[in-house]
């Protein structure tokens, strides 16, 4: 799209790539007249200021000149000196070659002209500079004249060799981009000569056999030393020929899209796949010279463009000079264009007669300027300067996708390789996760728990794994008692070694028994603290006496455990016992509570411990929840005291949950459905970490399948799960076969579809 515009008919030269800000030098074009028939000449410098949103460029310096210009170049000579802007060299219609100081022009100093020579006998149509030695300038003029100028000694030019015969104009000269002592020149007749400046003689001549090649431009390939382009101005042969000096019998390639003669060509130094050409068919084309394809066409006015040039500093910009008096600056990156159509000819005249007759002319019927808005597309293919030579990007599943551009010779096919590697940052996490998955598949839960007990870092951690291991053994309640420090066998052993001393009843006791007064005998025993004898005598006295005796005994006792054993009221003991005696309360439940009431009573005791909020009480509560098999409460209690955001901490929780779940499934002989939002959240986090480490199959297995709310639709969940599984398989294919699958699956599946499906699934569950 067009970004800037200058109303001038001029030759042009961009400032060197190292110069900032970017300037565009314009020299009044020779053999051209503007609409006002002005015959003056000047060298002007404009600044490219993108902070200004207008189409105008800022004029920063002007120097009136005595001659107009056929050619103009801006070289980076002496720019290593602080503040220097290089040199401007102009070839004039009078045959002079003049060296200007851009700094002097910009500052309006008087010493703007540094050197001048009239060595040429005719108009200087061709100028170019050496890419390796910026002090060397080549010029070409009429009569086959070619001179090599040294800016350090401008008065004594040299010639590359003997003049070619027959003598004719030199339309273009070009230094080789790869070899500093090679120079080429071309004539309008279509002949091109390659000079070796070390020998001062031509080494090869190129000629088109059709004799219709009127050479208007010649360029060396930016990267290939033996290849050059020739452009034809002849309307009968409007082509660009690519020649290779190694096979100079015929063109290597011919670019044919212009319908009339070509006036100018420019090869991008930033991207050899971009070649500009302008022709007498009012078109400016951008080619890929390697394929011969026109990849872009610039929107131009209905006028010939006689010169196009790429901007050295900003490779996306180019300038075009046309015969309608405009210098237009375009960008090949596309955008929105709003341009106003001007009428330059009408603006050059007023109502008076310009030819001196004294008559007053009627006002011109000039149409009002119109504003057009056009959307300009960018290049079809990203240019080289915006392509990354190397790159790395992390993809889903812990994949690292890297690429690089191999160093190959130009014109050779480039086989770019994309490498997909697995990045693992949580080695211990993956190892423990694999061990857990292997245990879940093999069913060796007891040995797994035993290993966890051996490697547990604390006594509390050992207790938890001991309780989990008991769930997989027979007579679990008896073994839970042992873990709590209570053993029936040990108690029986102690009782068998004790001797019960029975004191002799007093005479009064015997009297009550002899007379059959059991109630009096019971009273005497209770008063004397002989509770066992009182219970035995009350049994003989009948059911009513036994009941009264039990009540009287329990009223005298502070131990609620005995009362609970007699009355079978275990809820009172778990709700009212001292929490320091939680082991005794849990042991009583293990001994006496029936299976239906056991789990809720354990949960009640665990809830009281959890409510204390200390780490010690929460670990004790976890043991209660393990005994009851309450996975949800175990997760809530564990996460209330432990930060489970890190992978290893999350692995600790998942290990305990999965083992407890398997133990419950063993007792119930079936799968267990846990409706826990807290567990669902942790499992999603766990699966996400597994996926990020490349363990996609394990990640898929660990994703929860339960629904927290009834309103969710199982069918949709299963469809999404199937989709997610399919995408995971694609990721695995991409990892296994990068050449085939990387471009499509890494960019599309890994970066877009898979994370989106995962986020939807996460929202559902």
pLDDT of residue 104: 94
Query: Would you say 406 and 747 are in contact if contact means Cβ atoms under 8 Å apart?
Result: no
Q: Which residues of the chain have pLDDT under 70?
A: 33-37, 301, 335-377, 407-414, 488-517, 531-532, 535-536, 540, 550-551, 553-569, 670, 705-765
Q: What is the CA radius of gyration of the chain?
A: 49
If DSSP codes are grouped into helix, strand and coil, which group holds residue 248?
coil
- Please write the tens of the pLDDT for every residue from 471-519: 888 888 888 888 888 776 664 564 455 433 344 444 555 655 444 567 7
Token readout for 576 is: 């009212």
C-alpha separations of 398 from 401, 663, 746 in Å: 10, 33, 12
Are the CB atoms for 158 and 147 separated by under 8 Å?
A: yes
Domain spans of the chain, in order of start? 1-159, 388-422, 715-762
Q: In whole angstroms, what is the distance from residue 68 CA to residue 46 CA?
A: 18
Neighbour-count burial of 631, counting CB atoms closer than 10 A to its CB (0-12 exposed, 13-18 middle, 19+ buried): buried
Q: What are phi and psi of 720, to 5 degrees?
A: -65, -40
- The answer to whether 288 and 255 are in contact (CB under 8 A) is no
Q: What is the 3-state secondary structure (H, E, C) of 614-660?
A: CHHHHHHHHHHHHHHCCHHHHHHHHHHHCCCCCHHHHHHHHHHHHHH
Q: Distance between CA atoms of 679 and 654, rounded to whole angstroms?
A: 9
Q: Do residues 745 and 396 make contact, with C-beta atoms less than 8 angstroms apart? A: no
Report the alpha-carbon distance of residue 24 to residue 34 in Å, rounded. Answer: 20
Structure tokens at 603: 């949960």
**Residues 142/144/150/154 CA torsion (nearest 10 deg):** -40
Helices (H) and strands (E) in the chain, counts: 23, 33
What is d(CA 29, CA 12) in angstroms, rounded to the nearest whole number? 9
pLDDT of residue 683: 86
Share of the chain above pLDDT 70, in %: 76
pLDDT at 122: 92
Please tell me the distance from the alpha carbon of residue 479 to that of residue 18, in angstroms, as a whole number.
Answer: 84
Q: Are 610 and 640 in contact (CB under 8 A)?
A: yes
What is d(CA 339, CA 336) in angstroms, rounded to the nearest whole number? 10
Could you count the other beta carbons within 10 Å of the beta carbon of residue 258? Answer: 22
pLDDT at 564 (0 to 100): 56
Judge residue 724's burial from the number of C-beta atoms within 10 Å of its C-beta, 0-12 exposed, 13-18 middle, 19 or more buried: buried
Tens digit of pLDDT for each residue in 292-303?
999 988 877 678
Q: Is the pTM of this model over 0.75?
A: no
Give the CATH number of domain 1-159.
2.130.10.10
Three-state DSSP at 342 gives coil
Q: What is the mean pLDDT of the chain?
A: 80
């Amino acid at each position: 799209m067009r970004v800037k515009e200058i109303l001038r008919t001029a030759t042009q030269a961009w400032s060197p790539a190292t110069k900032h800000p970017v300037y565009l030098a314009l020299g009044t074009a020779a053999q051209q007249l503007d609409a006002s028939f002005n015959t003056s000449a000047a060298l002007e410098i404009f600044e490219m200021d993108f902070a200004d949103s207008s189409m105008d460029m800022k004029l920063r310096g002007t120097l009136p000149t005595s001659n107009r210009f056929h050619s103009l170049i801006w070289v980076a000579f002496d720019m290593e000196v602080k503040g220097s802007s290089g040199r401007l060299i102009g070839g004039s219609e009078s045959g002079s070659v003049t060296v200007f100081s851009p700094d002097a022009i910009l500052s309006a100093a008087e010493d703007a002209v540094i050197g001048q020579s009239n060595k040429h006998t005719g108009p200087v149509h061709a100028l170019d500079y050496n890419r390796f030695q910026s002090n060397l300038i080549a010029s070409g003029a009429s009569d086959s004249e070619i001179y090599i100028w040294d800016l350090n000694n401008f008065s004594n030019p040299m010639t590359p060799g003997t003049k070619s015969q027959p003598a004719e104009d030199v339309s273009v000269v070009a230094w080789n981009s790869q070899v500093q002592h090679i120079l080429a020149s071309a004539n309008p007749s279509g002949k091109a000569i390659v000079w070796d400046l070390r020998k001062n003689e031509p080494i090869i001549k190129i000629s088109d056999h059709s004799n219709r090649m009127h050479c208007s431009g010649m360029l060396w390939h930016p990267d290939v030393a033996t290849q050059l382009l020739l452009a034809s101005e002849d309307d009968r042969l409007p082509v660009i020929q690519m020649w290779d000096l190694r096979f100079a019998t015929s063109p290597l390639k011919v670019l044919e899209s212009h319908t009339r003669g070509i006036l100018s060509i420019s090869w991008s130094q930033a991207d050899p796949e971009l070649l500009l050409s302008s022709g007498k068919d009012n078109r400016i084309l951008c080619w890929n010279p390697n394929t011969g394809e026109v990849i872009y066409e610039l929107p131009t006015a209905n006028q010939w463009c006689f010169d196009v040039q790429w901007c050295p500093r900003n490779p996306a910009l180019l300038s075009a000079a046309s015969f309608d008096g405009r210098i237009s600056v375009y960008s090949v990156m596309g955008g929105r264009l709003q341009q106003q159509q001007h009428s330059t000819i009408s603006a050059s005249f007023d109502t008076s007669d310009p030819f001196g007759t004294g008559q007053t002319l009627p006002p011109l019927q000039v149409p009002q300027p119109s504003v057009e808005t056009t959307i300009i597309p960018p290049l079809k293919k990203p240019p080289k300067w915006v392509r990354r030579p190397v790159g790395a990007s992390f993809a889903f599943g812990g994949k690292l996708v890297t690429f690089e551009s191999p160093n190959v010779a130009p014109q050779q096919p480039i086989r770019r390789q994309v490498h997909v590697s697995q990045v693992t940052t949580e080695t211990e996490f993956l190892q423990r996760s694999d061990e857990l998955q292997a245990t879940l598949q093999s069913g060796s839960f007891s040995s797994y728990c035993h290993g966890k007990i051996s490697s547990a870092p604390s006594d509390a951690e050992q207790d938890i794994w001991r309780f989990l291991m008991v769930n997989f053994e027979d007579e679990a309640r008896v073994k839970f008692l042992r873990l709590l420090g209570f053993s029936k066998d040990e108690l029986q052993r102690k009782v068998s070694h004790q001797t019960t001393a029975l004191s002799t009843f007093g005479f009064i006791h015997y009297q009550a028994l002899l007379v059959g007064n059991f109630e009096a005998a019971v009273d005497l025993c209770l008063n004397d603290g002989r509770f066992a004898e009182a219970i035995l005598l009350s049994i003989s006295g009948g059911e009513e006496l036994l009941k009264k005796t039990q009540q009287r005994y329990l009223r005298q006792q502070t131990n609620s455990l005995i009362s609970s054993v007699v009355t079978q009221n275990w809820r009172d003991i778990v709700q009212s016992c001292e929490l320091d005696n939680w082991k005794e309360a849990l042991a009583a439940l293990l001994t006496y509570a029936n299976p239906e009431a056991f789990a809720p009573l354990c949960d009640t005791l665990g809830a009281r411990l959890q409510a204390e909020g200390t780490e010690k009480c929460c670990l004790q509560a976890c043991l209660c929840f393990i005994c009851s098999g309450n996975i949800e409460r175990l997760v809530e209690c564990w996460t209330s005291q432990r930060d489970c955001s890190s992978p290893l901490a999350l692995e600790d929780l998942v290990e305990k949950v999965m083992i407890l779940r398997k133990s419950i499934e063993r007792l119930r002989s079936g799968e267990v459905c846990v409706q826990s939002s807290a567990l669902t959240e942790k499992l999603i986090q766990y699966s996400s970490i597994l996926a990020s480490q490349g363990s996609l199959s394990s990640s898929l297995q660990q994703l929860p399948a339960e629904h927290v709310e009834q309103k969710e639709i199982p069918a949709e969940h299963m469809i999404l799960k199937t989709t997610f599984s399919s995408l995971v398989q694609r990721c695995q294919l991409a990892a296994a076969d990068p050449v085939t699958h990387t471009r499509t699956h890494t960019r599309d599946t890994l970066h877009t579809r898979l994370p989106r499906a995962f986020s939807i699934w996460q929202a559902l569950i």
